[in-house]
Amino acid sequence: MPSGRNLTFYHAVPSRSGTVHWMLHELGIPFDVKLLDIRAGAGQTPEYLALNPLGKVPTIVHGDTVVTEAAAICCYLADLVPAAGLAPAFDDPKRGEYLRWLFFSPSTIEPALIDRARQYEAEDSSQNSYRDWETLLSILIDVVGKSDPWLLGQNFTTVDIVMGSTIRFGCMFGLLPKDPVFDAYIARIDARPAYQRAQEIDAPHFAAAMAG
Ligand SMILES: N[C@@H](CCC(=O)N[C@@H](CS)C(=O)NCC(=O)O)C(=O)O
């Protein structure tokens, strides 16, 4: 049976690897954590660059398999533990919608948030993976507003972990507008024991990073 045995997770606090940390706690599988001080260049050692040539977190090593990119790692882990029910099965019609939003998060929402943070606006919106800010925002409010209670319906899935983390990040840094739809969805995330557990474990590292 596939399991979290021989699973090493390269993590830094605070960073995008928090998404994978939450995912691992939702799955409840065993894993080893290697905490990297990325701000001190720990991602730039030859050993780590061999795993992740960008020198970024997160990365997982599972047996002989190396996976980088937060969304890809979460997708891999969900399929590794199908019994956890965090991904629709390959023949489930919801699988398409699942993959769509899983990839929408890093490839469409994140570039929009980064442009927003940098106050960059392309003259020609066809150059943007997200069309334009207003279009993206109305799609997000629509999809999050329809969550009942989760993005794919009754079942909590990896989409809620990946896209939920991005929405949470966008709201936390004021890149997404204050909206009751986002607030209600984030409150549902915050109530999840696995989310709380991952936050609790990261809290001392977060405090140390803020103090340094
Ligand atoms: N596309 C990557 C981005 C990962 C990323 O940007 N990680 C940042 C932390 S949020 C990092 O490791 N930064 C350290 C550095 O650039 O040296 C993913 O989604 O996993």
* CA-to-CA dists, residue 138 to 63, 133, 145, 177, angstroms: 42, 9, 10, 11
Residue of minimum CA distance from atom 6 in ligand 1: 56
pLDDT confidence tier of residue 109, bands split at 50, 70 and 90 = very high
8 Å CB contact between 22 and 198: yes
- Tokens in use for 130? 């997200």
Question: 4 pLDDT band (50/70/90 cuts)?
Answer: low
pLDDT tens profile 58-86 = 999 999 999 999 999 999 999 999 999 99
Quick check: helix, strand or coil at residue 52?
coil
116: Cβ below 6 Å to ligand 1? Answer: no
* Residues 201 and 21 sit within 8 Å (Cβ to Cβ): yes
Cα 170 to ligand 1 centroid, rounded to whole Å:
16
For residue 13, give the DSSP letter: S
Tell me if 55 CB under 6 Å of ligand 1. Answer: yes
Compute the distance from residue 17 Cα to the ligand 1 centre, in Å.
8
Residue 16 C-alpha to ligand 1 middle, in angstroms?
6
- Average pLDDT for 29-57: 97
- Using an 8 Å Cβ cutoff, are 18 and 198 in contact? yes
Class of domain 94-192: mainly alpha
Sign, CA dihedral 60-62-67-69, equals negative
Domain 7-85+194-211 - what CATH class? alpha beta
| 151/137 Cα distance (integer angstroms) | 16
pTM, rounded to two decimals: 0.97
Element (H, E) at 7: strand 7-11
At which residue do the structure tokens 């995912």 appear?
23
Give the closest residue to 80 by CA, choosing from 98, 69, 67, 91: 67
Instruction: Convert the pLDDT of each residue in 88-107 to its tens digit.
Output: 999 999 999 999 999 999 99
Distance 102 CA to ligand 1 centre (A): 17
pLDDT tens-digit map of 183-200? 999 999 999 999 999 999
Q: With cut-offs at 50, 70 and 90, classify the pLDDT of residue 1.
A: very low
Spans of all domains in the chain: 7-85+194-211, 94-192
What's the whole-number mean pLDDT along residues 130-141? 97
To test the pocket of ligand 1, the residue of 35, 39, 49, 57 to mutate (highest count of ligand atoms within 8 Å of its CB) is: 57
How high is the mean pLDDT of the chain? 96
